[in-house]
Amino acid sequence: MAGPLHGIKVVEMAGIGPGPFCAMLLADMGADVLRIDRSRRPDEPPHRTPGSRFDVMGRGRRTVTVDLKKPGAAEGVLELIGHAEVLIEGFRPGVMERLGLGPEPCLTRNPALVYGRMTGWGQDGPLAMAAGHDINYIAVSGALHAIGPRAAAPVPPLNYIGDFGGGAMLLAFGVVSALVEARRSGKGQVVDAAMSDGAALLSAMMYGMRAAGFLTTERGENLLDGGAPFYSTYACADGKFVAVGAIEPQFYAELLRRCGADDPDFAVQLDRDRWPVMKEKLAAVFRTRTRAEWCSLLEGSDACFAPVLDWDEAPAHPHNVARGTFLTLDGVVQPAPAPRFSRTAPSAPKKSLVATGPEKQAALRAWGAPEEVVRQLESAGAL
């Protein structure tokens, strides 16, 4: 594949969630990623099954199943890692060390290796060995507390903040940063990416606003959490929803003008005491038209407006179509690689290739594994 990471060889120790997403980001940008997978249970969901067309996060790379419990298998994988520039793993702390594939032997074999580690709590700290998921990691960062309606329980924002934003993207940024440094120094290093750290980092602006007195600890009462009437979602006459984000005074004025909202209660935009009343009245305004009617009136204007689209509607939106924001791969609609590059645009992603039978050896050779490594894994019965 073309792309800004063309020529970078990556070994991915297969996992779930942020690890595969990080590997997908690297593969989307042209890196040559070899995924080392474990044997899968027959009841694995299709979106987690390598080679399944529903495994969107597995696109753009080869997968080889290796039984690391076989004698000599770990040594064979260590040899593979010796020919890579990046290793990505997402196990609990200590697992790779017990397999004989921890940072020490890998960096001894390959001193310039970038060793990327993805965990929930990090490699150290009192919670390092505890199990968890996205909801737990964002809970301790402060982010989860801030999400949800007023006087109600916090609402999990899917697994965007911990797994993908604070996890996979943080690891991808760390890996690429370490690659840049390794090109200068010739030395690799360990990248310790923790989802709890990443969720906290994503909250940088919020902590600044809190310190300045612009953010309360009450959900649904602040500028960006749905408390402000001009930054919220509203139901329309047909039960569909729209989103408005008219923060700046000129955009707020444009929203009111186009909506015909001339009630005196809307006059003082930043009067927080009036926000509940303003929000109730603005909700009544939006209930007077369908979502399509509001789109005709507001979309594309400076009113900072957008329809709230579902999974099926979003790929068909004219802006997304014009930008090529989504693509269809093997019959599955999915997001296209991003961001865009003016000179080293990546190729369109290809479906995951799960090597079976003789393809296993071919996949290893195509990635660049030396012949002796292929023979070693074969003789160990690990493939």
pLDDT in tens, 257-288: 999 999 999 999 999 999 999 999 999 999 99
- CATH level 2 (architecture), domain 9-202+327-379: 3-Layer(aba) Sandwich (3.40)
**What pLDDT was estimated at residue 1?**
60
How large a percentage of the chain has pLDDT more than 70?
Answer: 99
Would you identify the CATH topology of the domain 231-319? formyl-coa transferase, domain 3 (3.30.1540)
Mean pLDDT, rounded, for 182-193: 98
Distance CA 382, CA 65 (A): 8
Q: What sign does the CA torsion over 220, 224, 229, 234 have? A: negative
For the chain, the average pLDDT equals 95
Mean pLDDT, rounded, for 136-155: 96
- 381: pLDDT strictly greater than 90: no
Confirm if 30 and 300 have CB atoms less than 8 A apart: no
Could you write out the three-class secondary structure of 30-82? CCEEEEEECCCCCCCCHHHCCCCCCCHHHCCCEEEECCCCCCCHHHHHHHHHH
What the block records as the tokens of 299 is 């979309």
pLDDT in tens, 98-128: 999 999 999 999 999 999 999 999 999 999 9
Whether 133 is a known active-site residue: answer yes
Whether 145 is a known active-site residue: answer no
pTM for this prediction: 0.94
- 198: pLDDT strictly greater than 90: yes
**What pLDDT was estimated at residue 43?**
77
Question: How does residue 248 score in pLDDT terms, banded at 50, 70 and 90?
Answer: very high
**What pLDDT was estimated at residue 277?**
96
- 169: pLDDT strictly greater than 70: yes
Catalytic residue among 134, 163, 192, 225: 163
Mean pLDDT, rounded, for 317-334: 97
CA dihedral 37, 43, 48, 51 (to 10 degrees): 70
Distance CA 103, CA 111 (A): 10
Q: Where are the domains of the chain?
A: 9-202+327-379, 231-319
Catalytic residue among 6, 47, 83, 133: 133
The SS3 of residue 192 is strand
